Amino acid sequence: MFRSAATVDRLITLLGKLPGVGRKSAGRLAFHILKMPIEEATGLADAIREVKEKVGECQVCFNISESSPCYICSDPKRDQSVICVVEEALDVPSIEKVDSFRGLFHVLGGRLSPLDGIGPEDLSIKALLTRVNENDNIKEVIIATNPSVEGEATAVYLSKLIKPMDISVTRIARGIPVGADLEYADVVTLSQALEGRREF
């Protein structure tokens, strides 16, 4: 079957919109897809469609989930007294790999960045404050935002809002290099960062 250049170019353009994928990488991916057996390519397309149709946000912690509340929020074995606040849902699996943490999560959906026009109202900060304020079981909030300028600013902002509620606010230790993302941190580094967290 003939594939027009316009069709391939459209695929390259769409793949190029993915984070970290430039035009050259998008081209390589597109031609790899062209070489795939039709079953594999269709399976990939179906998986993308299915994830868009079935996966949403947990209305409690804002993690990605096929149900609400998610499996973490609805697990009675989790430590209900600790909430770990992260920037994005992709940070949750990184911390979940650390067996020593069995608390709950709260996903902000980003970080404060005035230069990019991202303020407190653009994140799930209000929901976090409501959650902490209305739950007497919560004794500690661990702020695990990335160690970037914006991540630090977000951590300081959250600390100022939560501390007056008489809740312990801690920050993960500097086991994670500045400028790195939690997604790429190894288990040992994350474990040390969690164990060495400090009072804010």
Reported as a single tens digit per residue, the pLDDT across 103-140 is: 999 999 999 999 899 999 999 999 999 999 999 999 99
pLDDT digits (tens, 9 = 90+) for 35-83: 999 999 999 999 999 999 999 999 999 999 999 999 999 999 999 999 9
Q: What predicted TM-score, i.e. pTM, was given to this entire model?
A: 0.78
Q: For residue 60, is it within any domain? A: no
Q: Do residue 94 and residue 143 come from a single domain?
A: yes
Q: Do residue 91 and residue 46 come from a single domain?
A: no
Q: Do residue 89 and residue 182 come from a single domain?
A: yes
Kindly report the number of other CB atoms within 10 A of residue 118's CB atom.
Answer: 16
- Between CA 174 and CA 194 the distance in angstroms is 9
Domain that holds residue 163: 78-199
Antiparallel, parallel or unpaired: β 140-143 and 168-171? parallel
